[in-house]
């Protein structure tokens, strides 16, 4: 079976490898088709595509868009997008500006808790000045000796109820799906098991996602348990959605899994790539 890894991050967002290094590592880990899906930025796609072409693995142009839905932050992956599409680009530019403004508020909150200078510190870890996120703050806090690793940072800081947490309004689910579709892409609901959704809210989300033109559910991802693989395989089928697989790799030993690792999709799923022209992906 071919190894599809359709979710990972380069230093264009909060990964540590640059796009070419990431593609190289994916090939070494046995990935046949890789999608680069940086948070809210498509700036790494050309470099990654060139590298994939050079070493002969399949490449899919992607992005992971930050969304607020019913007061909850969601991530929607777009696959096979045109990164040059103007509507998508202007939407992402808006989110990037929001990230910068949020980062200033995060730094202000940390300052109130006795950690000054975190904006500059986090920016220092952001290889792409357009894209600043909590992971950059986490790396700064680790470097400062405040916490020993990213896991600890996200337990003690930057999350609801902890120092450095701020609320933020991302774009709407409708906007994210419209931009992805307008640019020719397919929308995937990323790591649904991670969201803070109570009761029937997950089902309401899947229904709305499908209604708005969503295509797939990320069934296998670095942050799902085996039980969640089975649950979301079933829900994908129930809502007429196909299934995706991705590591959510960021850095060796950090958030997500190693590139290309993790189980195959459960056999009851229809893979999102069922009607892709794999030879075209490889071209």
If binding is defined by CB under 6 A, does position 260 make contact with ligand AMP?
no
If binding is defined by CB under 5 A, does position 248 make contact with Mn ion?
yes
Q: How far apart are CA 25 and CA 112, in angstroms?
A: 40
Binding to ligand AMP in span 227-256, by CB under 6 A: 250, 255
Nearer to ligand AMP, 133 or 164 (CB): 133
Residue 42: what are its φ and ψ, rounded to 5°? -110, 15
Candidate segments 22-30, 129-137, 204-212, 234-242, binder of ligand AMP by CB under 6 A: 129-137
Secondary structure string (H, E, C) spanning 66-123: EEEECCEEEEEEEECCCCCCHHHHHHHHHHHHHHHHHHHHHHHHHHHCCCCCHHHHHH
If binding is defined by CB under 6 A, does position 39 make contact with ligand AMP?
yes
Q: How many other C-beta atoms lie within 10 A of the C-beta of residue 168?
A: 15
Interface characters, 41-80, with ligand AMP (x: CB under 6 A): -------------------------x--------------
Q: How far apart are CA 72 and CA 67, in angstroms?
A: 8
**In the bound complex, what is the minimum distance in angstroms from residue 238's beta carbon to ligand AMP?**
27
Binding to Mn ion in span 53-82, by CB under 5 A: 64, 75
If binding is defined by CB under 6 A, does position 134 make contact with ligand AMP?
yes
If binding is defined by CB under 6 A, does position 150 make contact with ligand AMP?
yes
The residues binding ligand AMP (CB under 6 A) are: 14, 39, 66, 133-135, 150-151, 154, 250, 255
């Amino acid at each position: 079976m071919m190894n599809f890894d359709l979710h990972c991050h380069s230093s264009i967002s909060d990964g540590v490898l640059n796009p070419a290094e990431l593609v190289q590592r994916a090939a070494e880990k046995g990935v046949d088709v890789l999608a680069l899906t940086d948070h809210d930025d498509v700036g790494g796609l050309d470099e990654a595509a060139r590298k994939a072409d050079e070493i002969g693995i399949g490449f899919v142009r992607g992005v992971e868009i930050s969304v607020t839905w019913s007061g909850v932050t969601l991530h929607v992956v777009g696959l096979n997008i045109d990164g040059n599409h103007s509507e998508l680009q202007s939407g992402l530019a808006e989110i990037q500006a929001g990230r910068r403004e949020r980062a200033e508020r995060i730094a202000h909150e940390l300052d109130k808790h006795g950690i000054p200078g975190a904006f500059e510190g986090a920016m220092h870890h952001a290889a792409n000045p357009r894209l600043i996120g909590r992971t950059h703050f986490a790396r700064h806090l680790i470097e400062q000796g405040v916490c020993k690793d990213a896991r600890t940072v996200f337990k003690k800081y930057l999350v609801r109820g902890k120092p450095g947490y701020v609320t933020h309004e991302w774009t709407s689910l409708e906007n994210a799906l419209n931009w992805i579709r307008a640019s020719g892409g397919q929308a995937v609901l990323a790591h649904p098991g991670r969201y803070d959704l109570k009761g029937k809210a997950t089902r309401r989300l899947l229904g709305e996602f499908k209604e708005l033109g969503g295509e797939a559910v990320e069934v296998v991802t670095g942050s799902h348990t085996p039980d969640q693989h089975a649950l979301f395989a079933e829900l994908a089928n129930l809502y007429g959605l196909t299934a995706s697989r991705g590591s959510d790799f960021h850095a060796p030993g950090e958030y997500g899994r190693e590139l290309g690792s993790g189980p195959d999709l459960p056999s009851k799923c229809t893979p999102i790539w069922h009607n892709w022209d794999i030879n075209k992906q490889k071209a």
